[in-house]
Structure 1
Amino acid sequence: MLFKYSDSDGVDIFFGVRNRGDVRRAIGVECRVFPRTEFSDNSTDAFGGSIAKVWYDADDNACGIQLYYPAAEFYFSEKQFLGVGLGEAELFLSDQGVAFDCEDDNTGISIKGGAVRFYAPNADELGNAAIIEAVYVEIPRLEH
């Protein structure tokens, strides 16, 4: 499933959409609900086995989405990042003039002030050859 980054919506399929029912319709595949934990404000939805997981705030509005390789594709500035080597991603971002930070635990990089985080869990061992296995995108609140 394909997702594109959007400054206003986090991912483009959430254009004007934040509530749980509309999010489920926008993604359009079966989801499984995981109960609220001590670390979350609400339950989460996992879509299609391993496509995406969506977090909701206490008002049932999407506040974050994590996308997983290989079931999802994530495009930022017309470049697909899931399944790409960390070094390739860093080079592309640098070429585009996009500042990035390395995660403190050395598991990937983040951009847009941490609103988009690329997760490459083997970066400690493989360095720039580590594959981006997931991306987390904050979903901005809708302004009314």
Structure 2
Amino acid sequence: MRKKETLIFILFFALLLLALWWGFNLSRQPKPILSPSPTEEVFPKKISDFQTQIYMKKRTYDITYIPSLNEYAIVIYGIPFEPARKEAEQAFLEKLGLLSTQACGLRVTISTPPFVNPEESKQTYSLSFCGTSPAPNP
């Protein structure tokens, strides 16, 4: 009878350790290095049924992640365009914790409305440090 009780205790203890280990692993979500999908901590606000979530909203730019397109959209509201673009790109890198080479692997489109920057609004842009060519218009 003593063996049976010991075996049950060992089995119970092993299951308890397994449950604790599994629970801790579920609660830890490592920050992806090159994942285009943001974590819930970074994107706390749902905007619409399309699951578009605000990443960062400033006076001179907005950074938004659009899960349905698997893409980041940076909209520049600052004048002049280039300094505001550089500021937004730097904030994008810092908030995601990426190097510029890693960010170049993500889908990122930069644009500006015509009422803010009429000339620059005629096209969309990619990240400035990823190359000089503009992003293709949709």
Fold in common (TM above 0.5): no
Decide which structure has greater strand share.
1
Q: Which has the higher contact order (CA 8 A, sep 6+)?
A: 1
Larger radius of gyration: 2
Give the TM-score, by structure 2 length: 0.31
Give the TM-score, by structure 1 length: 0.30
